[in-house]
Amino acid sequence: MRGSQSTLAERLRFKLHRAELKATAMGLKLMPLRESRLHEGLDATHSLAREIGHYGVNKVLIVTTAGVVKRQQLDTLIAALAQNQVGFAIYSGITPDPSVSVVKEGLQAQQQHQCDAVVAFGGGSAIDASKAIVVAATNDKPVEKLVGIRKGRNKPLPLFCVPTTAGTGSEVTSVAVISDDVTHTKRFIIDSRTIAKGVALDPALSQSLPPSITAETGMDALTHAIEAYLSQLASPQTDALALEAIELIFTHLPEVYRNGGNLESRAAMARASLIAGKAFRKAMLGYVHAISHQLGACYGLPHGFANAILLPRIVAFSQDAVQDKLAQLAIETGLGEASLGRSDLAGLTLDRLERLNTELGIPDNVESLKEQDIPSIASAAYKEALSVHAGPKYMGRKDIQALLRGLLPQ
């Protein structure tokens, strides 16, 4: 059996974590989460602008990157907002892994232009920063003090999202991941009131993404779906969402990687990302994210890229704890027949994950990883896993270290 390296103190901590998760599960059950209004297809941006107009919004702050502005990707949104008598201002300072100071700049723009709603236009970074901005806008607290669960007393400004990548699912989740300016460690601002009121999924917006970004973001969505499916907090409801997302991604991610202009597959990926977000906002995530966040902080590895490398290894580590679910996944996604043995079926799921990485050109090690960093990365991942995640099989620090050593460059 894998993973017997945890210490007695760690095993006691795991026991406590199981009890904490039971309480979390009760809380999540009682907490109704907003169902975002969904606008899909090539007319999605117009349809979203109409919705914003119906809310009586006076002026939105569009939060995006300089690249989006340069590529003139905002033109449709701006025209649609004008048609609906909604004013706008633009904050285009979003960077990958947005930091507290990026959020503060966006907040300044919101205050300066007196915007009464925010439209996040971009990938996970634009959406996460926007979530932090909408909370900070209505609460007289420094951004740093909003880290944690529902730290803002007042209702955030309304948020609308136009995702341009298919991966994060952040538009429908309660969590904004913000980086510390100095240490680059991830901070979580968690507030279910930041779930987008409306989301536009226009497949045309992602068709020009380069294959590497398509692969990385798509693998982030797949990781959300699989970690939600294998989570200790999974339920029949979240399983149905996760399996739907996994099947869509298995079918359409290799296609959009090879042929970015396939709008049908781009639309399927956008949908899969959102559905995976709906699965993990209730079921939470696991060790892939706990470790990936540290690799991102330490070496600047893109989030989805780190997830993709880790996913098959963490699933393999957890296999004995979740064999039946992995077998069910193989049946539900057409990888194998129910007549096969559970262990064979679970093996087929693992094979599919490994094969997918190969198809997408994802390596099986981390080029920048250094042996001397492994203990501190493992400790930080261990801590994160037991604070905001619900992975199915606990890993002690030594287990995480051993897994990381397997990722060292050859």
Stretch that binds Fe ion, among 87-95, 218-226, 336-344, 388-396 (CB under 5 A): 218-226
Nearer to Fe ion, 46 or 289 (CB): 289
Nearer to Fe ion, 216 or 220 (CB): 220
Which residue matches tokens 């026991």?
15
Stretch that binds Fe ion, among 16-24, 217-225, 319-327, 356-364 (CB under 5 A): 217-225
220 binds Fe ion (CB under 5 A): yes
CB of 303 to Fe ion, least distance (A): 6
- Please give the distance of CA 261 from its chain centroid, rounded to a whole number: 24
Q: Provide the b/e sequence for 206-217 (b: ≥16 CB within 10 Å).
A: bbebeeebbbbb
CB of 354 to Fe ion, least distance (A): 20
Q: Provide the b/e sequence for 369-379 (b: ≥16 CB within 10 Å).
A: beeeebeebbe
Stretch that binds Fe ion, among 72-80, 146-154, 214-222, 242-250 (CB under 5 A): 214-222
Nearer to Fe ion, 177 or 199 (CB): 177
Q: Provide the b/e sequence for 29-46 (b: ≥16 CB within 10 Å).
A: eeeeeeebebbbeeebbb
CB of 92 to Fe ion, least distance (A): 24
Binding residue count for Fe ion, defined by CB under 5 A: 1
Chain residue at closest Cβ approach to Fe ion: 220
Stretch that binds Fe ion, among 17-25, 219-227, 328-336, 401-409 (CB under 5 A): 219-227
The 3-state DSSP class for residue 88 equals strand
CB of 217 to Fe ion, least distance (A): 9
Which H or E run includes 177?
Answer: strand 175-179
Stretch that binds Fe ion, among 33-41, 70-78, 198-206, 215-223 (CB under 5 A): 215-223
Nearer to Fe ion, 217 or 318 (CB): 217
Stretch that binds Fe ion, among 8-16, 23-31, 212-220, 362-370 (CB under 5 A): 212-220
Which are the contacts of 156, defined by CB distance < 8 A and separation ≥ 6? 131, 134, 135, 137, 138, 139, 191, 193, 194
Nearer to Fe ion, 116 or 220 (CB): 220
**Packed helices 303-318 and 397-405: angle between N→C axes, nearest 10 degrees:** 110
97 binds Fe ion (CB under 5 A): no
Nearer to Fe ion, 167 or 396 (CB): 167
Nearer to Fe ion, 217 or 328 (CB): 217
Nearer to Fe ion, 219 or 327 (CB): 219
| CA separation for the pair 20, 17 (Å, rounded) | 5
Beta-sheet pairing, 117-122 with 186-190: unpaired
Which residue matches tokens 């949908």?
271
CB of 286 to Fe ion, least distance (A): 11
Report which of 270, 283, 275 is spatially closest to residue 325, judged by C-alpha positions: 283
Report which of 397, 399, 407, 214 is spatially closest to residue 321, judged by C-alpha positions: 399
What does the binding site for Fe ion look like in residue numbers (CB under 5 A)? Answer: 220
